[in-house]
Structure 1
Amino acid sequence: MSLSDRAKALGMDRAITRRDFLNGVALTVAGAAATTLLPGIAHAVTPVPYPPALTGLRGHSPKAMDIMHAVRDGTFWDTAPKPEDSGEHYDLVVVGGGISGLAAAVLWRQQQPDAKILILENNDDFGGHARRNEFTASNGKKLIGYGGSESLQTPSYFSPLVKQLLVDIGIDTEKFNDYYDQSWSEDRSLGESVFFRKEVFGADTLVKTTELAADWVPQTPLNDKAKTNLIELIDSPPDYLPGKSRDEKFEVLSKTTYADFLTKTCGYDPQLIAYFQASTGAYFGVGVEATTALDAWGNGNPGFDGMDLGEVPYKTMSPSGRLVLTDPDDYIYHFPDGNGGVARALVRALVPAAVPGTTMEDLVTAQLDYGALDNPENPTRLRLNASVVRVAHDGPPTEATNVILTYVDNGALKTVTGANVVLACWHRVIPHITSELPAAQVEALNDQVKVPLIYTNVQLKNWQAFAKLGIDSFECPSGFWDGANIDMPVTMGDYAFADKPDDPVLLHISKVVVTPDPALGARDQATAGRYSLMDLTFEQMEFEIRDMLDRALKAGGFDAATDIEAITCNRWSHGYALEYMRPWDQYWPDGPLPIEASRKGWGRIAIANSDAGAYAYAHSAMDQAARAVSELLGDKAKLAEFSKFPGPPLDMIGL
């Protein structure tokens, strides 16, 4: 493919650390000519020795996705070979090596110390969305970023069981008060900013924001009416629903999208929709045309200060709306690799030989030995690149003593048996790998649609342009990407965050892939977004990264062709668990909720994942793991110790 002059000027033709992506494509193409035992799966492909260091397009493994799509479409078994009995038997088999699956294994071992456990993970790395990305800068410094699950948000709201589990795996959340430099930006006189793109707003303009909108909005390329409206909305919003009681306002706001609130309730210029469009995506997975004004209030969007709404959430707010409105904790509980650090701690508890060290600090810098994960001598084994395609009891579920699991192993099919099984995979996968469920439960499982997203890390040789502009981040309203920010300033043990502008640094760039169509509900938006995401190539993502940074930071002397040293795009076509939200889910919050029917175990099988909590947070994944383990072990006392309802504890937020 020939490059345009613009692409060459941005450095698309220059050598950066994205070769693993290109080599991966080459291996796939070469493997296609080899003898294959299953569609699209090359035989005897050499496993990747250290996945965190791979760059280019990461996230969900294309191989794993192809297998499960074939299972979903009913074509997999047409050409599948006869499964080979591995002869392996375990007390517990966990399907899925994300936070929930790893936590289930740890919790099981705590109660069954002599158990043999196998974890089957279909991707080439563990952690699920809690993915670690590593880079080596041109000056030799190692940089560590997060490719998905970001932080342990609001430990104050964690269940007693989750708090204890974190302690058990060596994580003391109080230490983040020292690890996270909350004054890093202030000490360097860096603030926030907004980059307005000419394609949407008529001119490329970077504007540094301040507390008073009247001080910076006049510098934007918004039209005059939109400027006036935005200043009023932020600085001195009136009561837009005068004469109504607080409860009446809550009811109106729970039925009105934030987009309609801005234009119809407030009577403001439609440019404000373009300005705020992506502001709700990070927490709710949809834009302002699908987020209620009530949840936008919880999210911190402006316009509600004059409406006397109080400080207690209204019952119809989504779980994240309730959380952000009432959050008592600073957003600091973050390893350099996000919740990849939590995943590493869980793996260290299960396979100590794979993760050297004993402290939180050495979790960060330890070189994980992937070759030790599936050692036959281990009481717990973690097997990567192992897609489970069938799960069935060996006899009637009420009488069987074992469960047979069939999985793909390097192009072949193998079976293992387990006395107990935890399905810590996605809800929508489960009906495709078992035929033992009633239709009502299948319908409930299929209700959970994942939010598609991309989490990208861009390695810069320095952050001089940010220093010159006096910013640490910028939003990009209605752009391909939602903006960019210098990574969170975390220093742990031997790992030190950037100090001077000459230091290399990672930029975090993300995109929640939604379709801004007011006619589509949250599930339809997620589905449409997933299809559009799968059509995107890494080259398209890279071009948009370079183009945005080059234009936004131009006044600071940034040159995308020379300043970018590496790029990793973590593509999560099936991303975060979708929350229950108005106006789409009229059964929320009074129920019955689909998760109540969907997560019911049967026979020797239980279900654990963030989908089971309809809440895309690491602590929810751990709660659901605890529920699944407690169900299998019949531990009714434990069933009272974790959170079964989505969102923060109701008694702690005034509901």
Structure 2
Amino acid sequence: MMAHFPRDVPGRRARDPVPGDDAGEHGAARPDDRPPEPGRLGMDRRISRRHFIDGVAVAAAGAALGPRHAVPPATGQAATPDRAASSGRAVPHAVPHAGHVPSARHAASRARRPSRARNLQGDTPDAVGVPHALRDGRFWERVGAPRTTGETYDLVVVGAGISGVTAAYAWAERHPGARVLVLDNYDDIGGHARRNEFRPAGRPGPLVGHGGARSLYAPSAWSAEGRGLLASLGVEVRGRRPDLYRSLGMREGVFCDRESFSADRLVVPDGPARRWAAELPVAAPAREDLVRLFENPPDWFPGLTDARKKEMLAGLTYAGFLREVCRAHPDVIAFCRTMPSAAWGYGADALGALDAWAESGPYAYPGFAGLRLDRSRPSPYNAARVARRWAAEDGDVPCFPEGNQALVRMMVARLVPGFAGSAAAEDVTTTWFDYGALDRPANRVRIRLSSPVVLVRNDGPAETASSATVGYYDGGRVRTVRAGAVVMACWNMVIPYLLEDLPAEQKQAMRQAVKMPLVHATAQLRGWRAFREAGVHRVRFTGAYWVTAELAPPVSAGSYRCPSHPDEPIAVHLLHTPARRGLAPREAAVAGRRELLRTPYAPLEFGVREQLTRLLGPFGFDPARDIEGLTINRWGHGYAPEYVRPWDAFHPGGPFPAELARRRFGRVAIANSDSVPGADVDSAVRAAYRAVGELAPLSEPPGAA
């Protein structure tokens, strides 16, 4: 009997208001604040997407949470979930996993290419339904007793994101021939590193974009483990600084929107602030304040030492610095509000002033120049990611069109025979992938997707256990496997619900790792001439729902060629940061995530069309004509939280919750970006190698070759 888990947050129609929610109280306006104009915006046109009701595919509405794999239809052709949904046939649930995986499931998996889906991806109801049911205490009452599959592995990894796959990769390096199982609740490998793929007419081959983790952050300052992984995969990061858009005279712009000011206006900061600030739709006193802050700010703390000035900044948010120290006009704060949103997942009201100083530049975070602070080294109070930039020769480096999922696919291609046509960095974007190969019984390393883990326990006291048990939900019941060791590469927040015997103080430390929610939208445009005419390739919005819109990084890889002419199809990426304004980062994340789960697909699509039209309509953009495909990637648990001032008083001296949270517990080690903590690839990689190293001294696990 299939256990059904109702969605924990009911969806709303686009026109339904959210009690107590408005732009002034909670931040950016919802994407459905204004009456829809479906005809004008092209909502009535057919594009590459699937229709959703309250964020759930029509064919899946009301179905049980858990994996659904299509079986071959009568014609003998494997039906993808999309094809089965459009045909109106119910999609059968997965059969229980065992030592042998049925050939029908193999056929369905081979046909499935998650990157080609045109819908809501990421934290979909299917992906998070079981974890939420565990959290709410309603999972175990609806399923029977766990049943063993009879499988035994040297290592089981919980999570197939960057950290989890790296852990499997590192284990295979240490123990060639070991049997490894990777379990994940998503339908694709990579976690937040998600690939979005389109097939526009007239383009040879696919158009590829990212749906989450886009680039490598400061790779020249990576750890030895991170640099070693890149070297083993053959990834070269030097010289990857694409300048196509700049060569075309395109810059980064700011869209002063009506959510913040009296009118919509695109401004391109270039040259002295006095020149471009004249175009801003702000009050005259605010314009003068901005010019002074950018060009000639005073020393706000005269007579104080450099160290004391930095301590003062460490106790303020950037918005607080502008408001309380600079006495800036409210329009100035509104103009700067979303400066940190894309990098941090929250705005100027939560970003520490000291970190804003560290990242300030000609057109970002004005107001600090008069302090004449020493920039030769970071302050101890700076966040770790900010401090790392001092040792780096680079910033964000996009290496692959699909973003960081390429790294995961290259590792999996080396671990799983038959998964990819090539494991080389120059081929990963264009080679073929066979998802049916991931969980074949003959594999030494198996990856089992759409299989959320629901229990992990040491077999006996943690101090003396020689094995562990891991249980996952296969869509019908809980199945268990035996493991010599376990690496938890999922979110810290979910681990206490899986590993119930974990010490109470360790559980409490884990619950402090509250991830920042994010939404990435990837729209496939028939061309980008409107961006070219506007003279921008990236735009920051000051208060609208989507905080940034940018053309895909002009990155080529092997035989894949990025669009180079304005009349070529291209991917444009939009980012929404749901964190609620006016709250500390953790509280802001929780409130924003709740609201995000209430937001159905339709208003998200409407918001993409409406904002792009407001931005580009004056330059010839027609959403009904120009938007040919759209994928929404929802990440309720996105960026890993870093320790930052002024919110974390224990930083930098400690003790740090992550140090307690990541302690090995018997046969179980913790590897995820939360355990560092850090919201970048190197953090995930370091955590994986650390966890594998912690398990190395244990006795040889059962099942070893």
Measured at CA, do residues 555 and 580 of structure 1 come closer, stay the same or move farther in structure 2, by a change above 3 Å? Answer: same
Are 1:348 and 2:406 counterparts?
no
Number of residues of Structure 1 aligned to a counterpart in Structure 2: 625
Task: Give the Cα separation in 2 of the matches to 1:347 and 1:293.
Answer: 41
Task: Give the Cα separation in 2 of the matches to 1:201 and 1:321.
Answer: 31
Contact 2:14 2:600 in 1 (8 A): no
Are 1:44 and 2:93 counterparts?
yes
Secondary structure of 1:386's partner? coil
Are 1:261 and 2:321 counterparts?
yes
More helix by share: 1
Task: Give the Cα separation in 2 of the matches to 1:204 and 1:502.
Answer: 26
Residues 516-555 of structure 1, C-alpha deviations (whole Å, 9 max, x = no match): 11xx211111111111111111111111111111011122
Residues 391-434 of structure 1, C-alpha deviations (whole Å, 9 max, x = no match): 11222222222211111113222111111111111111111012
Matches within 5 A, 1:327-476: 327-476=392-541
Secondary structure of 1:597's partner? helix
Aligned to 1:153: 217
Aligned to 1:9: 40
1:209 to 255, 269, 287: 269
Displacement, 1:5? 5.7
Aligned to 1:27: 59
Give the aligned residue type for 2:212: G
Give the aligned residue type for 1:146: H
Measured at CA, do residues 486 and 248 of structure 1 come closer, stay the same or move farther in structure 2, by a change above 3 Å? Answer: same
Aligned to 2:207: 143
Are 1:247 and 2:247 counterparts?
no
**Mind listing any 5+ residue stretches in structure 1 that lack a counterpart?**
636-655
Aligned to 1:647: none
1:302 to 366, 372, 385: 366
Displacement, 1:44? 1.6
Task: Give the Cα separation in 1 of the matches to 2:286 and 2:174.
Answer: 60
Displacement, 1:21? 5.4
Matches within 5 A, 1:491-506: 491-506=556-571
Residues 561-596 of structure 1, C-alpha deviations (whole Å, 9 max, x = no match): 111111111100011110111111111111110011
Residues 268-323 of structure 1, C-alpha deviations (whole Å, 9 max, x = no match): 10111111112122333321112221111122222212211121211111123323
Give the aligned residue type for 2:468: V
Task: Give the Cα separation in 2 of the matches to 1:108 and 1:621.
Answer: 15
Task: Give the Cα separation in 2 of the matches to 1:306 and 1:414.
Answer: 63
Contact 1:43 1:410 in 2 (8 A): no
Secondary structure of 1:337's partner? coil
Give the aligned residue type for 1:12: M
Contact 2:242 2:553 in 1 (8 A): no
Displacement, 1:325? 5.6
2:684 to 615, 621, 624: 621
Measured at CA, do residues 318 and 60 of structure 1 come closer, stay the same or move farther in structure 2, by a change above 3 Å? Answer: same
Measured at CA, do residues 326 and 278 of structure 1 come closer, stay the same or move farther in structure 2, by a change above 3 Å? Answer: farther
Measured at CA, do residues 236 and 182 of structure 1 come closer, stay the same or move farther in structure 2, by a change above 3 Å? Answer: farther
Are 1:554 and 2:617 counterparts?
yes
Matches within 5 A, 1:540-579: 540-579=603-642
Contact 1:284 1:320 in 2 (8 A): no
Give the aligned residue type for 1:190: M
Task: Give the Cα separation in 1 of the matches to 2:663 and 2:278.
Answer: 56
Contact 1:31 1:43 in 2 (8 A): no
Greater shift, 328-337 or 572-581, is seen at 328-337
Task: Give the Cα separation in 1 of the matches to 2:346 and 2:537.
Answer: 25
Residues 331-351 of structure 1, C-alpha deviations (whole Å, 9 max, x = no match): 334211111111111111211
Contact 1:195 1:476 in 2 (8 A): yes
Displacement, 1:624? 0.5
Scaled by the length of structure 1, the TM-score of the pair is 0.92
Task: Give the Cα separation in 2 of the matches to 1:356 and 1:610.
Answer: 30
Contact 2:64 2:475 in 1 (8 A): no
Task: Give the Cα separation in 2 of the matches to 1:509 and 1:440.
Answer: 39
Measured at CA, do residues 229 and 29 of structure 1 come closer, stay the same or move farther in structure 2, by a change above 3 Å? Answer: same
Aligned to 1:643: none
Contact 2:65 2:126 in 1 (8 A): no
Contact 2:410 2:423 in 1 (8 A): no
Measured at CA, do residues 559 and 440 of structure 1 come closer, stay the same or move farther in structure 2, by a change above 3 Å? Answer: same
Displacement, 1:200? 2.1
Are 1:169 and 2:233 counterparts?
yes
Task: Give the Cα separation in 2 of the matches to 1:590 and 1:42.
Answer: 54
> Aligned-pair RMSD on alpha carbons?
2.2
Give the percent of matched residue pairs that are identical in Structure 1 and Structure 2.
38
Residues 68-105 of structure 1, C-alpha deviations (whole Å, 9 max, x = no match): 11111111111211222111110111010000110000
Residues 209-248 of structure 1, C-alpha deviations (whole Å, 9 max, x = no match): 2032111110111110111111111122222222222112
Displacement, 1:375? 0.9
Are 1:124 and 2:204 counterparts?
no
Matches within 5 A, 1:578-593: 578-593=641-656
**Mind listing any 5+ residue stretches in structure 2 that lack a counterpart?**
1-12, 16-34, 69-89, 95-107, 699-705
Measured at CA, do residues 525 and 486 of structure 1 come closer, stay the same or move farther in structure 2, by a change above 3 Å? Answer: same
Contact 2:42 2:624 in 1 (8 A): yes
Deviating beyond 3 angstroms after TM superposition, the runs of 4 or more aligned structure 1 residues are: 1-5, 20-24, 30-34, 45-48, 323-327
Contact 1:31 1:42 in 2 (8 A): no
Task: Give the Cα separation in 1 of the matches to 2:62 and 2:343.
Answer: 41
Measured at CA, do residues 537 and 21 of structure 1 come closer, stay the same or move farther in structure 2, by a change above 3 Å? Answer: closer
2:49 to 3, 18, 32: 18
Task: Give the Cα separation in 2 of the matches to 1:331 and 1:445.
Answer: 28
Give the aligned residue type for 2:58: A
Secondary structure of 2:38's partner? helix
Scaled by the length of structure 2, the TM-score of the pair is 0.85
